[in-house]
């Protein structure tokens, strides 16, 4: 019986350099909890922000990062009826997945279809639920509308292209390199544009017959935010989903009046404690996965001890799809 496990621990706020491989006691599940042997961890930009102490919720150190993963149930705590040891599952929410074993609430556990590998299952929860809540719940997208997706070759971006197409939307995908745009086209993006090109606003207007986009998934923030607002169509909705630039954005709310436009926040975390919202999302997402219409894009894979390298890979904008850590 193994009583200790490898884990990545963080003692203080910082960048990749504060991720330390260590040896911790193997956790055990309490009431309504499940202990999972971790097979693959999905890396999120939010992990980077959380380790840096720049996330929406305050980080308490020491901490073990990691909010989504897939693996096999090792044991269940008192009161858990729905799961048993040996089941392949994914988990969403919380922290502690940068380790060989992780304990989560049984409410955070998701089923894994047999067709999915552990890496695909770890790449699924955060990006696909966020894409659904952004486009369907918050933007109330209608078939035929145009959506612009920033960082479209990334984890959330590739998921968003697939969900947008499933909702019958037309997609403008932005990314920083031509190979990334190639991936976006392979997933069904209708128009692809380099985010670095000059006259981006004009290019987006031209691609949409002069109107601009009905929905814009803003994940970069900072100086580009003002430019995003200019790409919106009449009654367009700008979804504030992230701030990868880590810079403040400025806006003048009055500028929204002329076009009856909206700026809408989107954060996955509060939806996780809304069972009705989660059920609606699952009912939409799982048939798409089962039919193969939606398939998570797994990007580079790193070993658990290479977590710092994996963070740098994302910060250097090298990644496509979801970066995976494997214990």
Among 80, 175, 207, 298, binds ligand NDP (CB under 6 A): 175
Q: Residues 263, 256: contact at Cβ < 8 Å? A: yes
Torsion of CA 35, 38, 42, 47, to 10 degrees: 60
Shortest reach from residue 75's CB to ligand NDP, in Å: 30
Among 294, 314, 324, 325, binds ligand NDP (CB under 6 A): 314
The piece of 58-66, 78-86, 161-169, 240-248 that touches ligand NDP (CB under 6 A) is: 240-248
| H or E element that contains 238 | strand 232-240
DSSP codes, 139-157: S---TT-EEEETTTTBHHH
Shortest reach from residue 85's CB to ligand NDP, in Å: 31
Tokens of 300: 């580079």
Shortest reach from residue 321's CB to ligand NDP, in Å: 7
Instruction: Name which of residues 188 to 207 contact ligand NDP (CB under 6 A).
Output: 195
Instruction: Name which of residues 36 to 65 contact ligand NDP (CB under 6 A).
Output: 44-46
| 317 is a site residue for ligand NDP (CB under 6 A) | yes
DSSP codes, 63-77: B---SEEEEEEEEE-
| 244 is a site residue for ligand NDP (CB under 6 A) | yes
Residue with tokens 């996965």: 289
How many residues of this chain interact with ligand NDP, rule: CB under 6 A? 30
| 157 is a site residue for ligand NDP (CB under 6 A) | yes
| 266 is a site residue for ligand NDP (CB under 6 A) | yes
Residue with tokens 């984890």: 155
| 93 is a site residue for ligand NDP (CB under 6 A) | no
Taking the least distance from each CB to ligand NDP, the nearer of 130 and 208 is 130
Shortest reach from residue 245's CB to ligand NDP, in Å: 5
Among 40, 97, 151, 297, binds ligand NDP (CB under 6 A): 151
Taking the least distance from each CB to ligand NDP, the nearer of 4 and 309 is 309
Of 219, 216, 224, 221, which Cα lies nearest the Cα of 247? 221
How many angstroms separate the CA atoms of 315 and 72, rounded? 30
Residues listed for the chain: 327
CA atoms within 13 A on the CB side of 126: 28
Tokens of 88: 């392949």
| 35 is a site residue for ligand NDP (CB under 6 A) | no
Residue with tokens 């996955």: 268
How many angstroms separate the CA atoms of 147 and 9, rounded? 39
Shortest reach from residue 241's CB to ligand NDP, in Å: 4
Q: Which residues bind ligand NDP (CB under 6 A)?
A: 44-46, 126-127, 130, 151, 153-157, 175-176, 180, 195, 219-220, 241-245, 266-268, 314-315, 317, 319
């Amino acid at each position: 019986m193994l009583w200790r496990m490898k884990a990545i621990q963080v003692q203080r706020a910082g960048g990749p350099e504060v991720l330390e491989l260590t040896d911790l006691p193997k956790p055990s599940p309490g009431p309504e909890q499940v202990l999972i042997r971790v097979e693959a961890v999905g890396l999120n930009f939010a992990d980077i922000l959380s380790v840096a102490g720049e996330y929406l919720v305050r980080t308490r150190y020491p901490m073990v990062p990691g909010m989504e993963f897939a693996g096999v149930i090792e044991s269940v705590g008192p009161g858990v009826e729905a799961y048993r040891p040996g089941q392949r599952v994914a988990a969403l929410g919380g922290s502690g997945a940068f380790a060989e074993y992780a304990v989560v609430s049984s409410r955070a556990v998701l089923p894994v279809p047999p067709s999915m590998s552990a890496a695909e299952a770890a790449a699924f929860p955060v990006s696909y639920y966020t894409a659904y809540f952004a486009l369907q719940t918050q933007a109330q997208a209608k078939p035929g509308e145009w959506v612009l997706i920033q960082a479209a070759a990334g984890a959330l971006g590739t998921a968003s292209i697939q969900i947008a197409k499933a909702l019958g939307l037309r997609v403008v995908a932005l990314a920083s390199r031509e190979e990334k745009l190639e991936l976006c086209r392979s997933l069904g993006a209708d128009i692809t544009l380099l985010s670095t090109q000059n006259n981006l606003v004009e290019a987006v207007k031209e691609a949409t017959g002069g109107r601009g986009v009905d929905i814009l998934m803003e994940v970069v923030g900072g100086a580009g935010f003002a430019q995003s607002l200019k790409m919106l169509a009449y009654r367009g909705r700008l979804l504030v989903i992230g701030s990868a630039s880590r810079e403040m954005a400025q806006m003048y709310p009055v500028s929204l009046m002329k076009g009856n436009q909206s700026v809408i926040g989107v954060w996955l975390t509060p939806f996780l404690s809304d069972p009705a919202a989660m059920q609606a999302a699952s009912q939409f997402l799982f048939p798409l996965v089962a039919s193969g219409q939606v398939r998570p894009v797994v990007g580079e894979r790193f070993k658990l001890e290479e977590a710092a390298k994996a963070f740098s890979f994302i910060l250097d904008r090298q990644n496509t799809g979801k970066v995976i850590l494997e214990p």
